[in-house]
Chain A
Amino acid sequence: MKTSSLERTVGRVLGAGALASVALLAIGIVGMGVLHVAPLDRPFPPFDLGRLPADVAALRPSGFLWFGLLAVILTPSIRVIASLLGFAVAGERRMVAVAVVVLAVICLSAALGAGG
């Protein structure tokens, strides 16, 4: 993969991720409006990865909101994976190592966050 084509591909991944996330969030927000859920209503639905598919399938606003928020947070990680693959194809071993370290830190964040 040529340098500029890698940048373009990674750019497209980011753009698609941002648009998809905002679309999911928008669906959830419309659902909030339809069900008269106010932003400051308490308690807010907790994040539960196991319940996410069922909530989305049942068209619950919280399902779309959490799915969208997860997409927002994971889009940069997907960009790192796309870059890693591009660097690997181009034989840039040092940049592959850098990408692996960045991914490892992101995984560690999730692990430490979940563990706390």
Chain B
Amino acid sequence: MAELILLICGGAIAGAFGALLGLGGGVLMVPLLTLGFGLPLREAVGASLVCVIVTSSAAASVYLQRDIANLRLGMTLEMFTAIAALAGGLVAFMLPDRVLALMFAALLLYVAITMARAREARDSGPGDGPDAAQPTLAGADHTGADSGVGADTTGDRGLAAALSGPGYRVRNLGRGALGSLLAGLVSALFGVGGGIVKVPVMNLVMGVPIRVATATSNLMIGVTASAGALVYLFRGGIDPYVAAPAAVGVFAGASLASRLSDRVDLRMLRLLFVAVMVVTATQMALRGVG
């Protein structure tokens, strides 16, 4: 019983951290399950994918009803994230656990560095905006994105126009598709949402405002992660006794955190998160080499 409660609470903490910092929670769930509960990495990734889908569905529901997420753009890019997630899910079952652990350690370091740089950028600028919790703002200049200018280098202006939204015009669809492939691969290999790749690609490369990019990324995470999760499900990579309590915990933690976000010192939280990520990356790397 204690184990069950610990797992739900651990999921809640990961979900709350993730929601407050603009992450899906997967990047915290996998280390928690492997290093904290001793689960094999692949089972941890399978459980984490489930957690990521639940939070994505709940958040995207709100973003769509508030007309923030771009449904058409999200579905177009989903074609690429889902294909890559399918490939990533299959590849994950071929890679040795140690290799996956080393790759995950590298991902954690990348997230920590991105988060630290986002903090520096924000510390030197004016106050936090509505997207303050996003980890992907490092040095980003969104003025071009919001102005709606910029040529569509793919030449498919009709499609770009159809996918654009009020106040912005989507560009560089080809590069956006490539970024989406990378995001899908990362999602299925490591049990994360892939927003750490998708949000900067949509914002900086495709000219989508950060708020819309974040909401659209959230929408896409569900389909991306479910393409990977189906492979894990049918190949015995999802343990229901672990995935269910973790998912309920993450859902509860994320829901609670979204209501408390105004009262939390995000700078301190971000600093703590960077420290946790660095320690976790080290432990994961040691697991990979040891």
Contact = CB atoms under 8 A, between A and B. Distances in A.
Contact of B240 (A19, A62, A102): A62
A70 B3 CA distance: 24
Contacts of A114: 234
A1 to B, nearest CB: 12
B86 interface: yes
Interface string B219-254: 000110111111111111011111111011001000
Contacts of B56: 76
Contact of A79 (B50, B82, B159, B222): B222
Interface in A62-116: 62, 65-66, 68-70, 72-77, 79-80, 83, 94-95, 98-99, 101-102, 105-106, 108-110, 112-114, 116
Contacts, number: 195
A69 B53 CA distance: 10
A74 B4 CA distance: 25
B36 to A, nearest CB: 11
A95 B75 contact: yes
B9 to A, nearest CB: 12
B241 A73 contact: no
Contacts of A18: 54, 57-58, 61, 251
Contact of A40 (B3, B69, B223, B240): B3
Contact of B64 (A14, A19, A26, A33): A14
Interface residues of A, number: 60
A101 B162 CA distance: 18
Interface string B33-69: 0000111000000000010011011101111110101
B76 A98 contact: yes
* A-side interface mostly: helix
Nearest to B227: A109
Interface residues of B, number: 62
A110 B242 contact: no
B75 to A, nearest CB: 5
A69 B227 contact: no
B89 interface: yes
Given A29-B4, A75-B53, A110 B234 contact: yes
Contacts of B227: 105-106, 109
Contact of A77 (B223, B232, B235, B238): B223
A7 B165 CA distance: 13
A76 B241 CA distance: 22
Contacts of B222: 14, 75-76, 79
Given A22-B248, A69-B244, A102-B78, A11 B64 contact: yes
B107 interface: no
B71 interface: yes
A39 B75 contact: no
A17 B222 CA distance: 12
Given A39-B245, A47-B238, A102-B82, A15 B61 contact: yes
Top 8 nearest A-B pairs (CB, nearest first) are A11-B64, A76-B222, A113-B234, A15-B61, A11-B65, A65-B240, A113-B231, A18-B57
Interface of A: 4, 6-8, 10-12, 14-15, 17-19, 21-22, 25-26, 28-29, 32-33, 36-41, 44-47, 62, 65-66, 68-70, 72-77, 79-80, 83, 94-95, 98-99, 101-102, 105-106, 108-110, 112-114, 116
Interface of B: 1, 3-4, 7-8, 37-39, 50, 53-54, 56-58, 60-65, 67, 69, 71-72, 75-76, 78-79, 82-83, 85-86, 89-90, 93, 159, 162, 222-223, 225-236, 238-245, 247-248, 251
